[in-house]
Each structure stands twice: as C-alpha cells, then as structure tokens.
Structure 1
Amino acid sequence: MSTDDKKRATLDFGDLDNTPAPPVDNNAVKAATRAAGFRETPKASISEAAPSIRTLRRTRRKTGRTEQFATRLRAETIEAIYNYADQHEITLAETIERAVEALKREAE
C-alpha cells in the first residue's frame, strides 16, 4: 500500500446541529451550586493581596552540589535516611555525605 492510498479517517456524528449552545445564566449556576452545598470562594481585598514572589522566596545558600545520584533502596533504608535527615534538620544530600564520612572513618 503506497502513501497515496492512505486516507485519514473522518468521524461522522450524523446530523448534529452545529448551532452554538444557549448562553448560561450565571445566577442559575450559583443557585444550583449553593443548593448542592458548595460555598463561594471569598475574594481577597487589595490590602490582603499576596506578597510578591520575591518576598516569599527563601534565599538559597550555595551548596556546591551539582551532581545527581539516583538509586533504588529498600523501604526501611529510605525510611532510615529520611528519619535521620528529619531529626537533624539536614538535607538528604547531607545525610548521605555524613554516612560516607562515617564509612571512611570505620574503614581506617
């Protein structure tokens, strides 16, 4: 079969009426949603507007970590790494670095 013989399939939905849908009554939609138990999201006033992204962003310190490391571990090993990092309030990278240093000291 040559490429000239290939034809794109067309979808036939029969005799659909292509007239646009009637406009939606916003008040009827609000009434139906209230009746269903939904609440309207309160609008924030100008004074309560969210601060700019610049003020929300934490300053990040340079760590010197530029290499990526991905591996599969047992669930209990991952849990131990996360628990140690949480207890000492350090990153996962710092946790792994401490573990490597401990292994080096142990090997000496």
Structure 2
Amino acid sequence: MHITQVNNIAALGAFVYWLDDKTRPEWITVNGERRSAELHRLSQFTDIRAVWAPDAKVLHNHTAHLPKLFPKLHSQRGVTRSTYDVCSCPKHLMLLEDKQNYGVYPA
C-alpha cells in the first residue's frame, strides 16, 4: 500500500479510516492544434486499519491517555480530556462533548 497524502482521518470503534489524495491517469486536452497534458487529483477511500489496543500498563504511561485516536492528542490547556483536545493530524479533529467521539474543529 502506498499513501501519497492523507487529507482526512477518523477513528471509529476499533478502526482508523482515512481518505488518500491520489493522482489519477493523465488526460490530454486538445484545443485546435494545441495539446496539453493534465494530471488530476482524486480523493479516495484508501484503507481501514485496526487500531492497536495497548495493555493497561502502556496506556497508563501514555501522555494523552486517549488510545482511540492516532496520532496522539494534544490539548491547548495541558494534557486533559476536554473538548479542546485537538489531534495533531492535518485536519485537526477534536474530542467532542460526549468525550467518546471525535469530530471537526469548529471554524
């Protein structure tokens, strides 16, 4: 499997899901006598991976104490389970108010 650029990531249950931005085949555009090659990007559902479930000892030593989301979360107010916990991934997922699910950081 080759991942070019992850543009969205989510954890649900025991799985991590992500969209991968891939280049699709080249298109040739013809305008009169002029020809130009175009590469197009295509977001696609790439893969599902099982989430590692650490044992209690490893989990106790984990700084974020949040095993459900990869990569680990960091908080704006220190390492706490608050609604301000934000993922370090490019899409900045956050811990929702139910403290069990993650979603998009409000604009």
Structure with the bigger percentage of strand = 2
Q: Which has the higher helix share?
A: 1
The TM-score range, normalised by the shorter chain, is under 0.3
More RCO (CA 8 Å, sep 6+): 2
- When Rg is computed on C-alpha atoms for both structures, the one with the higher figure is 1
